[in-house]
Each structure stands twice: as structure tokens, then as C-alpha cells.
Amino acid sequence: MNKSEYKIHIIGGGISGLIAAQVLENSGYHPVIIEATDRVGGRVKTDIVEDCVLDHGFQVLLTAYPAAKRYLDYDALTLQHFLPGAQIFTDKGSTLLGDPLRSIKLLLPTLFSNVGSIADKWKVLRLNRLLKKTEISEIFEEKEETTLSFLKKFGFSETMINHFFKPFFGGIFLEANLQTSSRMFKFVYKMFGEGNAAIPKKGIEQIPIQLKANLKFTSFKYHTRVKYIEEQKIVLENGEDIKSHFTIVATDPNVLIPNLRNQEITWKSCDTLYFKTKGEYRNTSLIGLIAQDSTLINNICSATSLEDDAKTSKKVVSVTVVKDHQLDLEELIQQVSAELERYCNIQVDHFIKRYEIRKALPDLSNIQYEMLPSETQLSSSIFLAGDQQLNASLNAAMISGERAALGVINTLEKGLIVEEFTSEFN
């Protein structure tokens, strides 16, 4: 049988599914991506509304991600880089905190910032150096504890934890109490220290758009929801059955595979709202953090506008809420607008759009950086990919897709099982 004749299906056209398709194509296979929605990208999507670039939730590419370096062409993405730091807003005003060794602009504001003591700032640099010397594999072999307990043991003060680490990493982990694994904290901190946080100029969806454009032999079935899968069989919501030599599940498998149903993943959620503002938002290349326990807003960021980059972009702001709340849309807009004005001195002109993301990040323990191709194999024909297999990041989604595809290739190229059931598919 010719390689291109194998029926290999990938369920889910998110980042993990796209990478799985690329790796299969590279070895001569022609996979099919089955995607429930109208396009690829999964959680990485962008809309253009009122000429503003609105990502489905605030998310950044960390340019030091090893897998992203292998699979993405950064130049073609036209990345907009953030400065390595943050603007921190409290009821006492705002201050800048950053890595002065990487951006000289941040030297004086960081030294004079009232967030944390001199000892804290020294510890930030010490942690940078320590993690630079630590291999990623070592980080993921270390004993897990919560990020909060790691930071306390490292000696950071309460002020530094509450005013910097909680809002900064709370916005990344989508939970404000830093209960996320210390492995994830160290990995993300290392990535921030070795590269930049960046977003493509035309929005985060440029990442899956680029990955899809590289696929030459993959076919796509959109608006097609899988109901469940069995060995060598995919059953669609519309009742249709598809035969499949190999199936890569590149999404949460627990809902699709009957005997995994009791291992459900819990998900972290967030709300992202976009506003046009009256005045210009000045620090467009810094992430803004509101370091107040009482506020709903966790972080803010300037968003891009297609109209006129220089001026209009400074008038579009994204706001991320991580805390649980019971507010309806109108109450939410009202409270968030009031907080923007009170803490950030930003006056809202009008509300543009809200993204309420229920399944934003999988809540995982015992997180891993990578897995062997053979470890992605659930049964003779079913392989698992998706960030929930490793850790919640674009990098993990890429690695998981790569390894699942290699799992399929290794199985096929060892000449296992396939010959005995090929006739069924002719």
C-alpha cells in the first residue's frame, strides 16, 4: 500500500492537530483533519471587528519556545514584541518593573519602583540566572509544588508576590492564587528570560494560518463534529461512520473515547473584553497589571488596529478577567470600565466585544515537557495529542502533535497491524 493511501485522521485542527499533519506529510502521508468549527486554529483565533484585531483571549507566543522555533517562521509572522517587564497599577499610582539587563529603558524605573524591595529585585535576577543554567528537562524532573510555595521558599516578599507574581503569572496561568505547578512557572519564567513575549501584528491566529499554509497534502473536513471513536472507526455527530487506519485525537479525548469518560479534565476559564478608549494608551509594549485584590481586572494590553497602526492602536485595549464572577455583560462592562478609569486612567469610549472562554487552559498536575512517540499510543489505532497531554502552552501543543504523528509513523513503518485490515478500506 502506498503511504498516501493510508487513512489517517486527526480529530481537531488546533495547533497540535496542525503539527501532527505536518509531521505526517513530511513522511509522505496524506492525513485528513476533522474539525468541528469553520476553520483551523482551535483556541488560537482572531476576529477583526471595527478594524481592530481581537484575539480570542489575550495570549502570547514566547519566542524562546523550542518547538515554536522549529515549526514557525517568525519573520513571516511580523511579530510585535513586548518589553521584558510590566506596568503595575495600584491605588497608589503606577510603576514599571522589568528586566533592566535586557531593556535599558527599564533600568531606572525598576530600580525606583516601589514594587518589592531591592532584595526582591536582586532575587529576580538570581532566578533569571539560575533558570538560564537549568535545562528544560531538569525543570520537568524537579519535584512539583505550587508556584506560590516555590516563590515563598525562594525568599520573595509578600509585596513582590502580591503585586507582581500574582497578577503577572495569574494572567498566564488563568488563576490568581498561583496554585499552578512550579515546573510550569520555572519553564515559563525561563522562556521569558531567553526570548520575548510576542503577538503577530495581525493577531495570534496568524500562527495556525501559517501552519495550515505549509500543509500541501492534508485535507480538511470543517463543520464536522466527531461523536465518538472506536478502534479504526470514527462516528460523526451526523451519524456517518468513517473508517480510519489510524486516528490522532488532537483535543480532549475524554468526551470522545467511551472508556476514558471518567478521567475528565477540569478547565480554567477567563473573560477577555475589548474597548475603544478616548485617550491614547501610552505603554503599548508593556503588559499592564492591576495589583489590587479587590479588582476584577487582572491584566490589560494594547491591541492592534488595522486602520492606522500608530494612532488607532493606542486606542484599543484588551482587558482580561481571571476571577470568577456572576456579573451579566452590562454589569461586567460597567465594573471593568470603572476600574480602567480609576487605576489606569483610561477612559472607555465604547465596548467592542467580549470573549468568555470556558475551556481556556487544562488544569493539570504532574505536568510534562514532552513524551515519547510510543507514549501517545492509547490502543492499536488511536493516538493522543493536545496540550492536555503535557502542559498548557503552544509549545506543548506542538510537541504533543509531533509525537503523536511520530507514534503513528513508527507503528506503520515497523509494518505492524496494518496489513491485516487494509482490505476493509478498499
Ligand X SMILES: Cc1cc2nc3c(=O)[nH]c(=O)nc-3n(C[C@H](O)[C@H](O)[C@H](O)COP(=O)(O)OP(=O)(O)OC[C@H]3O[C@@H](n4cnc5c(N)ncnc54)[C@H](O)[C@@H]3O)c2cc1C
Distance CA 334, CA 319 (A): 13
382-401 residues near ligand X, rule: CB under 6 A: 386-387, 392-394, 397
Can you spell out the DSSP letters for 279-306? Answer: S--S-TTSEEEE--TT-SEEEEEE--BS
Considering only residues 262-301, where is the footprint of ligand X by CB under 6 A? 270
Site string for ligand X, 5-34 (x = CB under 6 A): ------xxxxxxx----------------x
Nearer to ligand X, 64 or 327 (CB): 64
Binding mask 164-203 vs ligand X (x if CB under 6 A, - otherwise)? --------x-------------------------------
Q: How many CB atoms lie within 10 A of CB 23?
A: 22
Grouping H, G, I as helix, E, B as strand and the rest as coil, residue 220 is strand
Convert residues 38-57 into a mask of x (bound to ligand X by CB under 6 A) and - (unbound): ----xxx------------x
The residues, ordered by sequence, that sit 6+ positions from 231 with a Cβ below 8 Å of its Cβ are 379, 380, 381, 382
56 Cα distance to chain centroid: 11
Residues 6+ apart with CB under 8 A from 210: 72, 73, 76, 77
Nearer to ligand X, 14 or 116 (CB): 14
Closest CB to ligand X among 42 and 100? 42
Amino acid present at 56:
H
Site string for ligand X, 347-366 (x = CB under 6 A): ----------x--xx-----
Question: Interface residues for ligand X in 199-258 (CB under 6 A)?
Answer: 225-226, 250-251, 256
Letter string b/e over residues 164-183, b meaning 16 or more CB atoms within 10 A of that residue's CB: bbbbbbbbbbbbbebebbbb
Q: Distance between the two ends of the chain, CA-based, in angstroms?
A: 11
The residue among 382 and 418 lying less far from ligand X, judged by its C-beta, is 382
How far apart are CB 385 and ligand X at their closest, in Å?
7
Q: Which is nearer to ligand X, 20 or 418 (CB)?
A: 20
Query: Taking Cα atoms as reference points, which of 196, 203, 205, 206 lies closest to residue 304?
Result: 203
Binding positions for ligand X, rule: CB under 6 A: 11-17, 34-37, 42-44, 57, 59-60, 172, 225-226, 250-251, 256, 270, 357, 360-361, 386-387, 392-394, 397
